[in-house]
Structure 1
């Protein structure tokens, strides 16, 4: 087969995810850095909320790209290989929690990475953003 069905995140989806992520972060009282990438790791949207740690933009990007690449949560990278993979990819891959893949209709659309809070806070913001567009962080059975 030479062609396959594909879906992509639209700019409207990215804006809705950022808006919902900001709202969720505000609810938790923890300003966040949020990065959304497509399935190939290209940044589609990002924000550093007022008060979020500026270096967390780097970790949020690595979390988003990791989730998009492996099709699972960024913290699914085994601890035993986490440092080696980070070194081998110049920090592009991380095992820090807060990165989730974005799926719709069984197709991986990209990833979202959130950083500046605890891993649980980061994941909660990422999950809220994904849910806002009717997508999931797990590959559905189609």
Structure 2
């Protein structure tokens, strides 16, 4: 189970990595049911990106897969069907430990590659599976 301590450790690691990249980010961490456990909008991050970061986290948790791999037409339909609750945008990763799904992390406000790198740094902080 993803604990609040694990979520906070991931949040800190993600923010540290974003600061190293000099790209302020919005970061959201959800449990396996999609409920937000921790979130942050770093100073200077785009304020609407917190919503997309949360959608990325929920999408990754729901599908147990990284975001950004869906055909955009299907992804847009998914976003419309869930009223923005899910998104095809890159930057969302599932949180898994020893193969067990625990939730998802979503990052937004940078490029897709930057968002994903920040999410990966968060997973590394808790030793989560990186076979994504």
Contact 1:66 1:93 in 2 (8 A): yes
Match of residue 123 from structure 2: 130
User: Max radius of gyration: which structure?
Assistant: 1
Q: Deviations over 1:62-93 (max 9, x none)?
A: 00000000010111222231111111110111
Q: Scaled by the length of structure 2, what TM-score is found?
A: 0.96
Contact 2:98 2:129 in 1 (8 A): no
Q: Runs of at least 4 residues of structure 1 off by over 4 A?
A: none
Q: Deviations over 1:75-115 (max 9, x none)?
A: 12222311111111101111000000010011100000000
Aligned: 1:115 with 2:108: yes
Match of residue 31 from structure 1: 24
Contact 2:32 2:61 in 1 (8 A): yes
Q: After superposition, where does 1:62-77 map in structure 2 within 5 Å?
A: 62-77=55-70
User: In the alignment, which of 83, 89, 99 is matched to residue 96 of structure 1?
Assistant: 89
Match of residue 3 from structure 1: none
User: In the alignment, which of 80, 86, 89 is matched to residue 79 of structure 2?
Assistant: 86
Unaligned runs of 5+ in 2: none
RMSD of the alignment, in Å? 1.0
Tell me the matched-pair count. Answer: 132
Q: Scaled by the length of structure 1, what TM-score is found?
A: 0.90
